[in-house]
Amino acid sequence: MWSYLQHLTYWDWLALGTLLLILEVFGAGGYLLWIGVAAASVGVLTFVLPNMHWAIQFLLFGMLSVATAVFWWQRQRSAAKPSRQPGLNQRGQEFIGRQFPLHEAISDGRGKIRAGDTVWLVSGPDLPVGSQVRVVGQDGVLLKVEAV
């Protein structure tokens, strides 16, 4: 085994990189992707420089693995920044502060308004049909309203 590790060729590194990339497909969350890229990179370097000492190959593999993993981690962190459009993909948030007539009377704290092309369930004080209400909040698909 020791003799084998001392005489690695570019095929060995490319095979390791391919194996790690295949394992990544099964759901490693990106970790094996970058280590596989590092192994493939060492394989390419070993192809270009065939007399590279085995210790240098392992050192390069370790350094490239850490470098690519740090690159991936930083990229993931920068991608997780909050959106400049805070209400994006949050239906109902755009109605907060707007006024609508009641589509169905609020009775026992529940009623409906027509907002946009949708009829929304609302909660608030009991009011008759046609009363103007202002949307003051949202709880899931339920809009909270108050009388204007």
Query: Which pLDDT tens digit goes with each residue over 41-95?
Result: 999 999 998 888 888 999 999 999 999 888 888 888 877 677 677 666 778 888 9
Q: Determine whether domain 93-147 maps to CATH 2.40.50.140.
A: yes
Global pTM exceeds 0.85: no
In angstroms, what CA-CA distances link 120 with 4, 98, 101, 116, 141?
69, 13, 12, 10, 7
Query: Which pLDDT tens digit goes with each residue over 6-50?
Result: 778 888 889 989 998 898 888 777 778 889 999 999 999 999 988
**Which sequence spans correspond to the domains of the chain?**
2-79, 93-147
pLDDT tier at 5, thresholds 50, 70, 90: low
